[in-house]
Amino acid sequence: MVFPDQLKKYRFILASKSPRRQYLLKELGIPFELRTKEVDEHFPAELKREEIPLYLSKLKADAFEGELDENTIVITADTIVWINDHVLNKPADHAEAVQMLRELSGNRHEVYTGVCLKSKNKEVCFHARTDVYFKKLSDAEIDFYINTCQPFDKAGAYGAQEWVGYVGIEKIEGTYFNVMGLPLYELYRELVKF
């Protein structure tokens, strides 16, 4: 794969345990080192919508303060599901996953991903929003999905690239890759400008 000339001077660190983000960044053709840090992911209760993942992605990037040079860029990201004026994080257990999927069933929700790019001298944070419309899911479909795909590491208890996405998502307005956890169009645009 041909790597864009304007990005060749940089070394990239992806600070994410998400296999989806790792896969997507590889597909974008960007070589990276994987390095994660434990960060307390609590956020102020007054934050809403894109403010939450922007806050968390900046928090993750700030954990690398003092470790980066001018030509090293750390990429951090956080994705949330927003519905009925509240956030859906990762489900703690099967019961919470069922509850989340029942709430998403037959409704529109918003997916926000906040991304932060940080080097020694510069920091750029941005977000993407995608509206996702779910068909009405039966309890049998919800149970089948949770039992076969174990979506406990995903905001809103689902992955668009998994079974429930195939049968449940009626339409998407915005970038699909944002729903997977990394808005590639926006990321590439910001990296080229960086």
pLDDT exceeds cutoff 70 at 76: yes
Q: How far apart are CA 60 and CA 40, in angstroms?
A: 9
90-147: pLDDT as tens digits: 999 999 999 999 999 999 999 999 999 999 999 999 999 999 999 999 999 999 999 9
As a whole-number percent, the residues of the chain with pLDDT over 70 amount to 98
Q: How far apart are CA 16 and CA 56, in angstroms?
A: 12
Residue 3: predicted pLDDT: 64
First to last CA, the chain: 21
Q: How far apart are CA 102 and CA 120, in angstroms?
A: 44
What DSSP state is assigned to residue 121? S
Q: How far apart are CA 116 and CA 55, in angstroms?
A: 9
143-162: pLDDT as tens digits: 999 999 989 999 999 999 99
Q: Which of 49, 71, 181, 48 is nearest to 119 (CA)?
A: 71
Q: Which of 102, 75, 76 is nearest to 88 (CA)?
A: 102
pLDDT exceeds cutoff 50 at 1: no
Residue 6: predicted pLDDT: 74
What DSSP state is assigned to residue 156? G
pLDDT exceeds cutoff 90 at 81: yes
- Per the prediction, the chain carries an average pLDDT of 94
54-67: pLDDT as tens digits: 999 999 999 999 99
What DSSP string describes 64-110? TTTS--TTEEEEEEEEEEEETTEEE---SSHHHHHHHHHHHTTSEEE
Which listed CATH number (3.90.950.10, 3.40.640.10, 3.10.150.10, 3.40.50.1980) goes with 5-193?
Answer: 3.90.950.10
Annotation marks residue 78 as catalytic: yes
Residue 29: predicted pLDDT: 86
- Specify whether the CB–CB gap between 117 and 194 falls below 8 A: yes
Radius of gyration for the chain, computed over Cα atoms and rounded to the nearest angstrom: 17
SS3 39: coil
The one catalytic residue among 5, 62, 78, 153: 78
pLDDT exceeds cutoff 90 at 34: yes
Residue 7: predicted pLDDT: 81
pLDDT exceeds cutoff 70 at 14: yes
Residue 11 confidence class, pLDDT cut points 50, 70, 90: very high
pLDDT exceeds cutoff 80 at 4: no
SS3 141: helix
Tokens of 2: 């041909």
Query: At residue 94, what are phi and psi to the nearest 5 degrees?
Result: -60, -45
- Specify whether the CB–CB gap between 48 and 127 falls below 8 A: no
